[in-house]
Amino acid sequence: MMVKLAQTAGFCMGVRRAVDKVLHMARSSGSGPIYTYGELIHNPPTVELLKRRGIIPIESLDDIDRGTVVVRAHGISPREREKLKEKNITLVDATCPKVARVQAIIKKHVSMGYNVVIVGNADHPEVRGLLGYAEPGGIVVADVEDVDRLPELEKVCVVAQTTRNRRHYEEVCSRMKERFPEVLVFNTICDSTERRQAEVLGMTGEVDVMIIVGGRNSSNTKELLDISRRSGTPTFQVETAEELRDINLDKAARVGVSAGASTPNWITDSVVDYLTLYRGKEGNFLMNALVRLWLFAIRTDIYSAVGAGILSSVSMILQGRPLSLINILIAAFYVYSMHTFNRIQDRYLGRIQGSFRDETYLKHKKIYLWASVISLALALLLSLAAGKGVFFFLMLMSLAGYLYRFRMFPLGLPLKSLRDIPGSKNIFIALGWAVVAALIPPLAEGDYPGITAVLSFVIVFTLVFMKSIISDMVTVQSDQLVGRETFPVVMGERNSGKLVRWLSMALGLFIVAVGATGLMPPIILSLLTVVFYVWICLELCDKRAKFSSTALEGFFGTTYIVAGAAVFAGTLVARLLNR
């Protein structure tokens, strides 16, 4: 099965702006109760997550008399805005700029004596807000038939609900011009909505089935559903990936996926992941089996363990040490134990419906816990075989790793443990990998870590740190919603991308400098390949709409495999040249 994901799927600018605004408020201390006038976005799972962050939707302004009220992207009427001012409630305006433009058009033309006709759904909150600006002569029409029922009007100003279908709007406007002598028509349909609808229409001719992801109370999602169905392509709407279990897709070789403007990316990702795993009944059996195996390794963190073992091999080669299977296995088992235990103990585990790892960790929590314990035990046993110094060093590391989540700071401070420090996850993951990959090999030979071990440590730390940030750039939306403070959440996605680019350039210069000084063998220059691959990963991150989060995580994790392949290939070439 081929799965095609629409590039326009997910939050529109207005929704993203509103969500970012309330989450920034939630992170600020002392902001008090935060209310949204109506649900911030038309997506039940996201609304529940916002409630956990203390962002509560209200249906009536009479329900509150204190705190902060956020006006959602749909906007509100002038009368409701005045009511909030009278209550002396802090007002935060997250009205979409596209909606605010429609409000301004209506306000201007009402003052000029025009009758305002709004083409849209009379029950939609955006339309109710617009009507407030059109009083007392505002009229809502849904279709051409409604136009025929209108009374005689002289001067008419026509605007559209921003999520309306363009073809439908043009039909209504055409009929308005036929009926009334003076009609001013404004194109107020959001350009993002138009692109989304056009892409869905284009996709229907390329796939066997369309899946539209979004809340059933979302107007723009319904429009996408209608457009797809009118094309004749079998189309289904789902709010979560779970609903796909009731849809038979056995005969579908190509499936298209799009999502409404209120659908968060992790829900769309979970749908794509489900469809990707659905493969195997048609097509190349071996290829399908390999893809499923690869995705399984990513979800279960086995891919991370393989990456740690490869970086351990790279470090030994760079340090001029013979390859040791024991050292490779120590790194692999320790990293696997660290990752699985931290995920099991993650306080946010399970809050994101459809997270590509959460489902399997929740379903098999005991198995993962035992796997973590056994992996740590194997790492410690192997370290004992490598030497007492390695064993005690790894024991100390394990203790420090498990102390990461326990209370260390005095009561009364906002920080309770090391994990509460913003961005600490990215730093500690990189430190753990760098220690087992770069420092264990010299200790296993009874040496103190010298300059080559320190240089290897810097390379491994930087690679893992960059990969960790790139991975978190993909999940920044869900991390913000649950309250996880990674580097991309704290710095912003764009600044995080800049940081990775600067770090990759610095790593490239570092590699060239170390190679030029002769502190490490010339083979270190082969790692410049990894620097270029990191840039490829950043490009994939920018074009994430084309891939599911599981596939992206796999591409990012392949950074370590590229490093190993480059160094091993370079070593082989060097040996052939020295014959």
Active-site residue list: 126
- Longest CA–CA span in the chain (Å) reads 96
Peptide linkage before 234 cis (omega within 30 of 0):
no
CA distance 58 to 64: 8
* Placement of tokens 């040490």 in the chain: 321
Tokens encoding 308? 């740690």
The burial class, CB within 10 Å (0-12 / 13-18 / 19+), for 166 is middle
Q: In the β-sheet with 34-37, what is the strand arrangement from edge to edge?
A: 55-58, 34-37, 68-71, 90-93
Give the DSSP H/E element, type plus range, for residue 367: helix 365-386
Question: Please, are residues 354 and 362 in contact by the beta-carbon 8 Å criterion?
Answer: no
Residue 304 near residue 339, CB atoms below 8 Å: yes
Query: In 498-533, which positions are buried (b, 16+ CB within 10 angstroms) versus exposed (e)?
Result: ebbeebbeebbebbeebbeeeebbebbbbbeebbeb
Q: How far is CA 237 from the centre of its chain?
A: 21
CA 544 remoteness from chain centre:
9
Beta-carbon contacts of 368 under 8 Å, excluding residues fewer than 6 positions away, are: 340, 343, 344, 361
55-58 vs 34-37, strand pairing mode? parallel
Nearest CA among 355, 327, 333 for reference residue 343: 355
CB 453 within 8 A of CB 436: no
Q: Which residue(s) pair with 160 in the sheet? A: 119
Q: DSSP of 239-256, one letter per residue?
A: SSGGGGGGS--TT-SEEE
